[in-house]
């Protein structure tokens, strides 16, 4: 299994990883008639979303998605216009995603919190799923109501405390014991879960 490509959030001239979502998902590509295909182990769901603010409104700013024609092989299918934007075929570091939309300004009506994270601590890397917010040096929580930014909090200190507790527990753990199948299943499930409680 492979660590997954994060959705990102362009905020205050910096690109953050979306490390936590309090209420469901921010974006569902099927609502735009898209059926992404996962052709890379680093992106099982077949897309990466890039979010931003337009004024105080939450928007889908860019979308990198893998669309393939039905049948055998991975022949590219060109995606539809989204908010008047046609997809490009080549785009950045994720060349295995074959439709690249930039400047979408697609309004989202999300209500809930987001944890934006920057400064990943590489000593905590695990080759599985999404990395939680406590594995980053800087964490900002944004609170939205119907897609409008209502509040912002710096959560870096709280994440550092969680990180410290985790490392202390890990040091106390008996690593000679093999995990059970249930423990492995729970670990995998948590690794792909970006939800958190506000």
The predicted structure's pLDDT at residue 93: 64
Tell me the β-bridge partners of 129.
Answer: 3
d(CA 161, CA 15) in angstroms, rounded, equals 24
Give me the mean pLDDT over the 143-155 stretch: 96
d(CA 54, CA 108) in angstroms, rounded, equals 11
Least confident of 52-56, 144-148, 159-163, 169-173: 169-173
The answer to whether 131 and 120 are in contact (CB under 8 A) is yes
For residue 106, how many C-alpha atoms fall within 13 Å in the half-sphere facing its CB?
Answer: 22
**For 120-131, what is each residue's pLDDT tens digit?**
888 776 765 677
> Model's pTM, two decimal places?
0.82
Q: Which residue has the tokens 């958190």?
A: 196
């Amino acid at each position: 299994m492979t660590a997954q490509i994060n959705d990102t959030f362009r905020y205050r001239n910096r690109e953050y990883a979306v490390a936590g979502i309090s209420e469901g998902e921010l974006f569902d590509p099927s609502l735009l008639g898209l059926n992404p295909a996962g052709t890379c182990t680093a992106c099982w769901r077949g897309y990466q979303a890039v979010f931003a603010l337009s004024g105080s409104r939450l928007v889908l700013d860019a979308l990198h998605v893998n669309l393939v024609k039905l049948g055998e092989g991975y022949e590219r299918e060109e995606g539809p216009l989204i908010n008047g934007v046609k997809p490009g075929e080549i785009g950045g570091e994720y060349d295995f995603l074959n439709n690249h939309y930039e400047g979408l300004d697609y309004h989202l009506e999300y209500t809930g919190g987001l944890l934006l994270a920057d400064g990943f601590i590489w000593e905590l890397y695990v080759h599985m799923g999404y990395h939680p917010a406590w594995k980053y040096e800087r964490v900002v929580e944004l609170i939205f109501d119907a897609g409008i930014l209502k509040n912002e909090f710096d959560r870096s200190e709280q994440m550092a405390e969680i990180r410290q507790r985790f490392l202390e527990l890990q040091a106390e753990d008996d690593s000679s014991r093999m995990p059970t199948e249930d423990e492995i299943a729970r670990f995998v499930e948590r690794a792909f879960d970006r939800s958190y409680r506000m």
